[in-house]
Amino acid sequence: MEPKSVTRLQPDIQEQKPRRRYVFLMSTPALLGLFMFLVIPFFMAVGMSFTDQRLLSPNETSWVGLRNYDRLLNVSGMVQEPVRDEAGQLVLDGDGQVEYPRLRTLLRSDPAMADYKLFSSWDLGEKRYIVLAKDPHFIQSFINTLLFVLLVVPLQCGLALALALLINRQLRGIFLYRTVFFSPVVTSIVVVSIVWSFLYHKDLGLFNHYLQAMSFGLIGPIDWLGDPAWSMPSIVIMSAWQAAGVQMLIFLAGLQGISPDLYEAADLDGAGPWSKFWHITLPGLRNTVVFVVISTTIQAFGLFTQVDVMTQGGPQGSTSTVMYHAVTKGFREQDIAYGSAISVIFFLVILGIALFQKRLFDSKGDK
């Protein structure tokens, strides 16, 4: 070990310089890439969301302050009284329905309300309650995305856990089943969406065939992708089926981390399978569950491809999502500034979820 310490002791200044050059040469390509294509676009998104930037435009870009965000997030409400004649009686329209003042005329007459459009309305008692938004499509897309997340996360995570429990046993050839359950993951979501569009087909599709056969024709054909009530659930089912394989593997790793001694002890106490699942498996998987749920949630918020291939946001906007709206505005309508504002809101939601996850993990560390 003699020579080592000798070399170490030499304050070799000449050696430091080329070393620094190596650090520079070896780290620059990746750092440049991250900077150019991640950091810059990110700050561009923030900056441009306060402008009226367009993809191609002869006009100069100018600052518009919070106008884009106002357009996105501004929601307002109003209550309408029905129309009454001079005697104070309700006026009925041709169909015998109570008549209300025309909303469009009302909004146009008031300059402060001119930017609002109808989002939703319902009649209650002798009043009409109206929700207005400056961009009703965005509000709807946001609600659709939340709906997708709320449906797909439990379904996908539950399915993944069930599959993991299924294949976590000593059976010969079990790896074959693991490969099979996993195979949709390596199939492109574009291809999956196309093949499932066929299975979902109203007249020819397989799902309606089985549904009718199993219900003896009682349940009529469902227009899976064409009915606003079914379109989002249809995308949910397909998405959970396609992606569950990844979470299945993560759960499987979690299951294999639980000590077998616990199960043996439970067996000695005469615990049944349910009790073992509730008292050993689930608590043992706590970290894994938190991680899987959060990462699935983050992924689900970015829903775009399935929608673009299968429904293009329809029918009646029932499958439009935040990302779909961002691409429609920012790219198809070339309103980069508005698309950027949507991207910023999207990022803030993701950041919120990630911080929430961090808090969950941190608080666990304290215990």
Give the one residue of 31, 91, 214, 265 binding another protein; rule: CB under 8 A.
31
| HSE-CB of 332 using CA atoms within 13 angstroms | 9
Report the site for another protein in 297-316 (rule: CB under 8 A).
298, 302, 304-305, 308-309
Which helix (H) or strand (E) is 131 found in, with range? strand 127-133
Q: How far is the CB of 110 from another protein (least distance, A)?
A: 33
In sequence order, the β-bridge partners of residue 248 are: none
The bridge status of strand 127-133 relative to strand 117-124 is antiparallel
Q: How far is the CB of 209 from another protein (least distance, A)?
A: 5
For residue 315, is the peptide bond before it cis, meaning its omega torsion is within 30 degrees of 0?
yes
Q: Copy the structure tokens of residue 320.
A: 């439009």
Piece of 63-71, 110-118, 197-205, 276-284 that binds another protein (CB under 8 A): 197-205
Report the site for another protein in 317-336 (rule: CB under 8 A).
323, 326-327, 330-331, 336
Piece of 97-105, 122-130, 196-204, 223-231 that binds another protein (CB under 8 A): 196-204
Q: How far is the CB of 218 from another protein (least distance, A)?
A: 18
The answer to the question of residue 1 lying near another protein (CB under 8 A) is no
Piece of 89-97, 108-116, 143-151, 190-198 that binds another protein (CB under 8 A): 190-198
Q: How far is the CB of 36 from another protein (least distance, A)?
A: 8
CB of 131 or CB of 199, closer to another protein: 199
The answer to the question of residue 278 lying near another protein (CB under 8 A) is no
Give the one residue of 161, 225, 250, 300 binding another protein; rule: CB under 8 A.
250
Q: How far is the CB of 68 from another protein (least distance, A)?
A: 12
The answer to the question of residue 42 lying near another protein (CB under 8 A) is yes
Closest CA to 306 of 187, 223, 202: 187
CB of 38 or CB of 124, closer to another protein: 38
CB of 97 or CB of 312, closer to another protein: 312
Contact 199, 209 (CB under 8 A): no
Dihedral angle at the C-alpha atoms of 90, 93, 98, 101, nearest 10 degrees?
Answer: -90
The dihedrals phi and psi of 59, each to the nearest 5 degrees, come to: -80, 150
The answer to the question of residue 282 lying near another protein (CB under 8 A) is no
Report the site for another protein in 59-98 (rule: CB under 8 A).
none
Give the one residue of 249, 285, 289, 300 binding another protein; rule: CB under 8 A.
249
Closest CA to 128 of 101, 164, 89, 110: 101
The answer to the question of residue 219 lying near another protein (CB under 8 A) is no
Pattern 114-153, binding to another protein, x per CB under 8 A? Answer: ----------------------------------------
Closest CA to 308 of 324, 296, 295: 324
Contact 78, 130 (CB under 8 A): yes
Helices (H), the chain: 2-9, 13-34, 40-48, 67-73, 103-109, 136-167, 174-186, 189-199, 206-214, 228-256, 260-268, 273-276, 282-284, 286-301, 305-310, 322-327, 336-366
Report the site for another protein in 158-187 (rule: CB under 8 A).
163, 166-167, 169, 171, 174-175, 177-187
The answer to the question of residue 4 lying near another protein (CB under 8 A) is yes
**114-148 burial by CB neighbour count: b if 16+ within 10 A, else e?**
eebeebeeeeeeeebebbbbbbbbbbbbbebbebb
CB of 55 or CB of 229, closer to another protein: 55
The answer to the question of residue 209 lying near another protein (CB under 8 A) is yes
Q: How far is the CB of 118 from another protein (least distance, A)?
A: 27
The answer to the question of residue 51 lying near another protein (CB under 8 A) is no
